[in-house]
Amino acid sequence: MDPLGKRVLISEPEIFICSLFLFLSSVLLWLGSTTIVNLEKKDRSATFTITILTLASVLFGFFSWIGQSGLLNVSGNPAIYFFPGIFCLILIPFGWYFIVIWFLGFLGKKIYKTILILLIFSQLIAVISLSIWSQKFHFHTSLFYFWNFVPFSFRLSYLIYIFVCILVPVLALYSYRISKNILPEVARIKAVPYLKVISFLLFGVFILVFLLFVGGSLGILKDPVLQSDNNPIPFYGILIGIQCFVGAAILVLGKALISYEIFTGRILPKISLRKEWRNAVLGFSIFSTIYLLSALTGIKKIELFLTASLVYILSRTLLLQKNKNLRIEGNAVLRSILTSDEISVNFSGDFQNIKERFQKPFYTLCSEILETSKAVFINESRIPFITDLSLQYPNGAGDTLQITFNSLHVLFENEEIVYLNEESFDGYVLCIKTQDDQSGVGFLLLGPKIDGGLYAEEEIEIAKATSSWILHSLFVESNSQTLSSLQRKHMEEQRILDYKTRQILHDEILPEIHSSILTLSQERNEQNIAEQVQILTNLHKKVSGFLRELPDTGLEIQRLGLIESLIRLTSSEFDSSWFDWNYDPGLKIRFPITKPETLEILFYACRESIRNAVRYSRDENRKKISVSFEEKNGIRIRIQNRIEKNRTPSLESAGQGLKIHSALLKIFGGFLTLDFLNVDEALVEIYLPDSRINDP
């Protein structure tokens, strides 16, 4: 065959080998950078692991770069250029031993610690011996010549060293048992099969290295290195085989890393890493294939591909690390908002205290996250008896705000973010709308940023999340107050009921029964005994009558209907001429609610609302109390009356009973609201949606 043609055929496996080294170098460097970014326990063991990954990546990158010049050129280079690579080849097997023993937690065991010390000692001896022995060669001695004179004992010692570094981790993996059945230990034991597979793949590498190092000396096959000048195919075959085993081991190692974080000290996986790992393997495979195709066409510039891979991975690492730091800082700020000392479960009914508790986290949001010049948060509350909240940054920023809820609603339509005209909206440039089904609608108005820049998407999302949290916290505040009121009222009613029952039994019934008993014990006249029996009979009737005075309200409402029961209630307690009833006659006969519990809740809510309306209405205008029933997407009841202007402040006390009924209606998906249409007119609205009217 023509020497030129032979050289072309030989160059093709060399190109393929270089592309494989490029792939292995890139993947290992990606794994090392991923370990750095996700590292939580920054100890010496983790640092050494990252160092091993980086050294292996650099070594494979060096092989890919120098290999593109061809086998003959590589073997003719001075051997001293390859000494750093030889030292890496000594360190890398030890790195695998260390990684496995460290991951299993066996570094403290005596036997593994002893083997670790012996391996380190053997490395030192190997490095010193190689340095002394190589001094008898000239500085420019070629790699091919140097290889032929490496003693058989040194090659065999290196093979034994590799064998120990692989065998001992395998034995450790098979002997490993979890000490506690907890999630990190379970994750650790699930990672063991991956490490076993890697160890067996490394045994494949060991066999091929054995053939390469001592196969010729033992007569197993012709020395592949000595025959490489005339017949390089065996050498190429062994080298590609080693690359395939190493590549498979790296892929399994990557799977174990992203699944169980075996290098980072975290144990538990991150879901996002799985997709990143698949993309990295696919991307570097395509990257290496592009180099292979370009080299086959004569463009052998692997240094460009190595540089591109290095720049990409380094820039990705720096970006991820920066994002991680920003995320940690942002989480710390959010944590300070959500766990503010001012926000406490010990709620009070003072609205001013509620506002003060939310002011601090709002200030943190605006100053440390949004970095805005000014901001105002206002909410249109649907929560009964909690006034619309207004938060300002800095203090006093919203004192001159002349924006109505109606104008804001018109602005938004179907959008959640609206950019405002700074001149038309008191210097505010952005408005964020947040809506909560229980708490109502909140509007966050932001002024320009302090640095004059634009708001980032992440800042907007954090602002929306914080606004939602404030709205939800108001709902929790309302429920807390309601539950406290329920508890207090229940205790008061129980105390009153116990006292009333005790009083009746003690003052009326028990004295008569006692007197009758004394009389019967002293009297022997049959006529007197008959009289005492009659007295006891009358007492029995009194007790029966007392029990009958406690009617079953639920049965009464079901028998008469809700509207008729309310009409009879108002007629028995107040002047019926004070009320104006508005309802469809058919609604009174066929009321859509039939469930007893729901009827009782509506009845007591209406009763409390009507009593409050009577209590706070003007004496001359009580007859103008309007009660209307409407069936529209559910049941809506409106109780409207005129109130005395000088009694408006005391309506907070009137609302305590309504809060309890509002909480009960919330359980059924409805609501009870108290609104003041103007300074002397109040409206209570009770609503229960269609979907919850007769839910089981």
Measured in whole angstroms, the distance separating CA 531 from the mean position of its chain's CA atoms is 80
Q: Is 462 helix (H, G, I), strand (E, B) or coil?
A: helix
Which string of DSSP letters, residue by residue, matches 551-586?
A: --HHHHHHHH-HHHHHHHHHHHHS-GGGEEEE--HH
Measured distance CA(470)–CA(466) in Å, rounded:
6
Q: Report the distance separating Cα 102 and Cα 116, nearest Å.
A: 11
Please state the pTM of the whole predicted model. Answer: 0.59
What pLDDT is stored for residue 200 in this prediction? Answer: 93
Using DSSP's 3-state secondary structure scheme, residue 528 falls into helix
The number of beta carbons lying within 10 Å of the beta carbon of residue 66 is 18
**Any residues with CB less than 8 A from the CB of 505 and at least 6 apart, and which?**
none
- Distance spanning both ends of the chain, measured CA to CA: 91
Amino acid 203: pLDDT: 93
The residue length of the chain stands at 696
> Which DSSP string corresponds to 274-317?
HHHHHHHHHHHHHHHHHHHHHHHTT---HHHHHHHHHHHHHHHH
pLDDT the model gives residue 522: 66
Q: What is the pLDDT of residue 4?
A: 37
392 closest CA partner among 440, 432, 341, 446: 446
Query: How much is the pLDDT for 139?
Result: 66
Cis before 394 (ω within 30): yes
No. of helices (H) and no. of strands (E), the chain:
21, 10
Token output for 612? 């409050």
Q: How far is CA 303 from CA 61, 194, 352, 553, in A?
A: 9, 33, 68, 90
- Name the residue among 308, 236, 301 with its Cα closest to residue 69: 301
Q: Which residues contact 96 (CB under 8 A, 6 or more apart)?
A: 52, 165, 166, 169, 198, 202
Residues 6+ apart with CB under 8 A from 9: none
Q: Tokens in use for 575? A: 């002047």
3-class secondary structure for 349-409?
CCHHHHHHHHHHHHHHHHHHHHCECCEEEEEEECCCCCCCCEEEECCCCCCCCCCCHHHHH
Among candidates 547, 536, 541, which has minimal Cα distance to 501? 547
Instruction: Judge whether 542 and 588 are in contact, CB under 8 Å.
Output: no
How many CA atoms lie less than 13 Å away from 693 in the CB half-sphere? 14
pLDDT block averages, 10 residues each, the chain of length 696: 40 83 92 82 77 90 83 73 82 90 86 92 87 75 76 88 93 85 71 90 92 84 78 86 93 83 58 82 93 86 90 90 76 62 44 70 82 84 66 67 55 69 78 76 85 80 82 74 64 61 66 69 66 70 58 69 87 84 85 78 86 78 78 87 62 56 74 80 85 58
DSSP 446: E
Q: Are 361 and 387 in contact (CB under 8 A)?
A: no
Edge to edge, what strands does the sheet with 625-631 contain?
Answer: 579-582, 625-631, 634-642, 681-689, 671-678
Please say whether the beta carbons of 15 and 296 come within 8 A. yes
